[in-house]
Amino acid sequence: MILIRTKKLPVCLNLKMKELPTSNRKGWSLPIILILIFIGLVIFLIYRYGWWWLAIPPALCFAAAIASAVIRGRKDPEREKFLQCLRLPLYGLFHIENIEQSSTGGYLYDIVPGFRDKYSPEEQDGIMKSMETAIADTNIDFSEVLPQIPFSDDNIRQHLSETLRRLREQTGQRGGIEG
């Protein structure tokens, strides 16, 4: 028998929900308006007085902005694949209370229990290789993999090594039974 306690709210309470501010504003922001005014002023001075040299600094700024967007937009496909493979075992860190749980498992989003069923052999190989690389390389920025991971880099490497150990035990046991 399960007892559930409920509490009734008085009907006379007039609860008003406050609308949360959103970032989807309509209209122009002040910096964009100032930039447009500056561009208009430069065009006016060039046309009216022939001060063509005023166009050089804005043109250089636009060229730098475009080059920055192009360079930042390019992504290394190998690096992206590595980060994606590493995200899978690291996501479990958001669901454990301490690193010792990594060695026992049983937490939400633990990759080990269904590893062989969920992922193809190529994906399994990629995940395990990315874990080995992340454990060995001390220069990996784990915040690039998943932002705001709640553990230090040493704890993350410990989690990866324990998870990798458990994965190897699972694949070794199944390989020995099947083969």
Q: What is the pLDDT of residues 51-73, one digit of tens each?
A: 888 778 878 877 887 777 777 76
DSSP label of 19: P
In the predicted structure, residue 149 carries a pLDDT above the cut 90: no
Query: DSSP for the chain?
Result: -------PPPTT----PPPPP-S---S--HHHHHHHHHHHHHHHHHHHH--GGGGHHHHHHHHHHHHHHHHHH---HHHHHHHHHHHHHHGGGGG-SSTTHHHH--STT-SSTTHHHHS-HHHHHHHHHHHHHHHH-TT--HHHHSTT-SS-HHHHHHHHHHHHHHHHHHHHHHHHHH-
Mean residue pLDDT across the chain: 78
Q: How far apart are CA 116 and CA 61, in angstroms?
A: 52
Mean pLDDT comparison of 5-14, 79-88, 127-136, 145-154, highest-scoring range: 127-136
In the predicted structure, residue 3 carries a pLDDT above the cut 90: no
Could you tell me how far CA 163 lies from the centroid of its own chain? 21
Hunting for tokens 């075992």 — which residue is that? 89
pLDDT in tens, 158-171: 999 999 999 998 87
Q: How far apart are CA 152 and CA 146, in angstroms?
A: 13
Question: What is the model's pLDDT at position 157?
Answer: 92
Read off the pLDDT of each residue in 95-122 and give the average, rounded to a whole number: 86
**How are the residues of the chain apportioned to helix, strand and coil, as percentages rounded to the nearest 5?**
65, 0, 35
Confidence of residue 176 (pLDDT cuts 50, 70, 90): very low
Closest CA to 89 of 33, 129, 137: 129
- The more confident residue out of 170 and 25 is 170
For the question of whether the overall pTM of this predicted structure is more than 0.85, the answer is: no
pLDDT in tens, 110-124: 888 888 888 899 998
Q: How far apart are CA 64 and CA 43, in angstroms?
A: 20
Mean pLDDT comparison of 3-7, 112-116, 129-133, highest-scoring range: 129-133
